Amino acid sequence: MKRLLHAPLLGIMLSTTALFALLNPTFAQDNGTITVAQPTDALTMDPAKHSAFPTANIMFQLYDAMVTMDGEGVFVPALATEWSNPDPLTWRFKLREGVKFHNGEDFNAEAVKFTFDRALDPEFKAPYFSRIAAIKSVEIVDNYTVDIKTAKPFPTMLFSLYEASFAAMIVPPKYTAESPDALASAPVGTGPYTFVRWLKDDRVVLKANPDYWGGAPAVENVVFRPIKEVRTRIAELTSDGVDIAADIPPEDVPSLESGETKIATIASDFIYFYAFDTLKESPLQNKLVRQAINYAVDVDAIQQALLGGLGTRVALTLPTNAFGYDKAWQPYPYDPEKAKSLLAEAGYPDGFTIALTARQGRYMKDREIMDATIGFLAEVGITVEPNFLEPGVWATVSEAKGREGIIFPGWSGRDPDLVWYPILYSGQYQSYYANPALDTLLDAGRATLDPAERASIYEKAAAILKDEAPHLPLLTPPLIYGLDADLKWQPRTDSIIDLRKARFE
Amino acid sequence: MLGYVASRLLYALAVVFGVSVAVFFLIRIGGDPSALFLPPEASLEQIAEFRHSMGFDRPVIVQYFEFLVRAVQGDFGQSLRYQQPAMQLVLERMPATLQLSGTALLLSLLIAVPLAITAATRRGTIIDRTGLVVSLIGQSFPTFWLAIMLILIFSEKLHWLPPSGRNGWQTLVMPSIALAAYSTAIITRLLRSSMIEVLQSDYVRTARGKGLAEGKIVFQHALRNAAIPTLTVIGLQVGALLGGAVITEEIFAYPGIGRLAIQAIANRDFTVIQAFVLLMAVLIVGINLAVDLCYGLLDPRLRKS
């Protein structure tokens, strides 16, 4: 009888062995499918109803905007083929003819007008409303020409009309008008892929659109999978479960650069920088102190040690591919002795103590970069007391203009008006700096359409920013993707995934 | 018995109400989602306008009563992020989580019960010692660590199992092992010690003296009595499994309610958090209620008191 008591244990051991013996070691997939792993799933399939880049990555395969960007960050035609400014308050777009939505509806001026009218309607509550809020109206000139009217000259219009302005994705008017909620679960666009199915939090499956106006995509199927945990994304990549794994940490780059996988990386449009609160009483109100901090931190060393040298050093708070960025601009060099003498000159020979307001774990290596900065500042006598806030609390504090001391906000934008105006113009709620001379230039820059004139305006603004040092500009961090070694695909600086030209070799 | 059931039900209702108050006010302490929801360049006016249109600017107590009135009618509001009914979002993901937790519970019981019985009847042997070590390991390994190790070994090194997703039984193996580890350990330990205690009791000695078969003694006499304290723990473990699924689902990218909850918390998606927490509260209270009532079935003395 006692022997019988072993039976359950034995049974379990046997069945476990059988279980693993049964497993098929191959779950690799064919070259007709690109599987993309990114941290989160789509929130909706309606491009105007969300505020998340992972969702936008999926939307951009299904929909097109009027313009798009090329690898260098230059705007190029998409559903609009050319554009001009008949007067400073009008942007006139010629539209591509012969384009059809996935359901057969024609793309035309009516579709453009419908798209913006819908997203601009306050009742619609588009989360990314602010990106298109400058549009006063869309007027149909003829079937393939539209005028986009603004109340004031709006030089950054193309940023409001390309895919990173989520609500600018063109939707089919008849389909959407007939059932306003249909797009959220059954999307219809003009894009290179058509919708197949969406298993929530598991996968979004798309199929190539053979009639795509830009040419049928080379790969037949696309699957987007949400995988939050980075180790799991890497495991999926190395076990051939996915072909593109987004958001790879720099320390995993060497191990993924060989064998079955490779790395694709590009410096992003996102800017790491420190802003100094010059509005409240503190040593940071003194220009010499701000310059001293710029001299005290060895940004190149931080970039090498923490980001493996990836990313791009910036001289001012602007991505290097932004409008008006002059490659001749130089950041402050690392010179701790100079920093100390400037601090002494400013009246702080023994340094001072200052707060740091930031979030942590939000951007790649943010906490580590801040820790390193605190170390460099300690070397010149500045004691930094960090205050790390949870993102929701950060938002509440920011609204009350409560960021203090040295601030690590992060920002993005490929035009000085999109970067400097909100974070440096006097009185803007996220600006902790005030300088009437700079304000005049920033006002002029946003009221001028002529690119050459704008460039010269921002050149002057740049000179002020360099001397006044309201920020310590650091770098644009890299976007790092792990790829199947056979996949040919180029990442973009704005982090939006474009699979139009992706193919296996 | 009827009075007993009624009092337990009332108690359960009070707990759910308490949870609704706690979750509603706690998640609002850190501020509302308006600024998190809009793009970074949105102006203060745009944020304020959005907040007003969503009703986040009204007194919290007013918002709570409105929520309560609707919730009683089954309306938990729209998710801000998904623009869909919050409870629908949670319920859609419930089958996946139930499948995972159910598999994990089954796995726990399949391992723990035979292991505990064998260990208790063959004390001091190699099986007993192995059982103790296994349960010690199961109790001390953090779930996330175990999960990542499983992925590393079985997906990255051996290529036996897919690391993530919900696509056939293969994707259920590692998550349920990771999730079951702790419960298995607890149940094994508890059942083993209860069994040992019972096996030393007078009536077992009497049964042995009568010359009853050992198998009959162990399964019919000892196990039934040792099952009562174990049942309490199993009831608690069901709650722990559902809660533990949050971490497990996140690591294995398993599309259940745990991942939804984590996302919702990060995004301050109030309605989804409320729907999730309340549903969990109802489930766990329900399970406890069921366990309480099961005692009555197993132990007639409890029915009368």
Domain boundaries, chain A: 4-61+191-267+479-504, 64-178, 270-476
Mean pLDDT of B72-77: 89
Which residues in chain A have their CB less than 8 angstroms from residue B170's CB? 23, 27
d(CA A143, CA A169): 19
CB contact under 8 A, B113 and A8: yes
Q: Which of A492, A489, A24 is nearest to A243 (CA)?
A: A489
Low-confidence ranges of chain A (pLDDT < 50): 1-29
pLDDT of residue B304: 58
pLDDT of residue A25: 38
CB contact under 8 A, B127 and A129: no
Task: Spell out the long-range contacts of B283-291 with Cβ–Cβ below 8 A and sequence spacing 24 or more.
Answer: B283/B239, B283/B242, B284/B238, B284/B239, B284/B242, B285/B12, B285/B15, B285/B16, B286/B12, B287/B235, B287/B238, B287/B239, B288/B12, B288/B235, B288/B239, B289/B8, B289/B9, B289/B12, B290/B235, B291/B231, B291/B232, B291/B234, B291/B235
pLDDT of residue A393: 86
pLDDT of residue A9: 43
Which residues in chain B have their CB less than 8 angstroms from residue A203's CB? 165
How deeply is A203 buried, as exposed, middle or buried, from its count of CB atoms within 10 A (0-12, 13-18, 19+)?
Answer: buried
Size of interface A-B (CB pairs under 8 A): 163
CB contact under 8 A, A201 and B250: no
Mean pLDDT of B95-108: 93
pLDDT of residue A119: 96
d(CA B21, CA B219): 46
pLDDT of residue B151: 93
CB contact under 8 A, B255 and A25: no
pLDDT at B28 over 90: no
CB contact under 8 A, A130 and B110: no
Mean pLDDT of chain B: 87
pLDDT of residue A8: 45
CB contact under 8 A, A228 and B155: no
Topology of domain A270-476 in CATH is: Dipeptide-binding Protein; domain 3 (3.10.105)
Token representation of residue A374: 């605190």
Q: Residue A436 contacts by C-beta under 8 Å, 6 or more apart in sequence?
A: A426
Nearest-CA residue of chain A relative to B80? A50
**Is A4-61+191-267+479-504's fold the same as A64-178's?**
no
Indicate whether this complex's ipTM tops 0.95: no
Which residues between 429 and 468 in chain A have a beta carbon less than 8 angstroms from any beta carbon of chain B? Answer: 429-430
CA A83, distance to chain mean position in Å, is 25
d(CA B129, CA B136): 11
Q: What is the least distance, in Å, from the CA of B80 to any CA of chain A? A: 9
Rg (CA), chain B: 24
Q: CB-CB: which of A11, A129, A227 is closest to B46?
A: A129
**A113 neighbors A107 (Cβ within 8 angstroms):** no
**B100 neighbors A202 (Cβ within 8 angstroms):** no
Confidence of residue B248 (pLDDT cuts 50, 70, 90): very high
CB of B168 less than 8 A from some CB of A: no
Q: How many of the other CB atoms lie within 10 Å of CB of B12?
A: 18
Topology of domain A4-61+191-267+479-504 in CATH is: D-Maltodextrin-Binding Protein; domain 2 (3.40.190)
CB of B211 less than 8 A from some CB of A: no
CB of A25 less than 8 A from some CB of B: yes
pLDDT of residue B81: 87
CB contact under 8 A, B82 and A44: yes
pLDDT of residue A382: 97
Least confident of A288-297, A303-312, B15-24, B196-205: B196-205
CB of B98 less than 8 A from some CB of A: no
Tens digits of residue pLDDT in A263-313: 999 999 999 999 999 999 999 999 999 999 999 999 999 999 999 999 999
Which residues in chain A have their CB less than 8 angstroms from residue B109's CB? none
Topology of domain A64-178 in CATH is: Dipeptide-binding Protein; domain 1 (3.90.76)
d(CA A327, CA A379): 30
CB of B151 less than 8 A from some CB of A: yes
d(CA B173, CA A335): 57
CB contact under 8 A, A228 and B93: no
pLDDT of residue A235: 94
Task: Note the residue count of chain A.
Answer: 505
Let me know the angle formed at the C-alpha of B264 by B13 and B173, rounded to the nearest 5 degrees: 90
CB of A197 less than 8 A from some CB of B: no
Token representation of residue A240: 């051939």
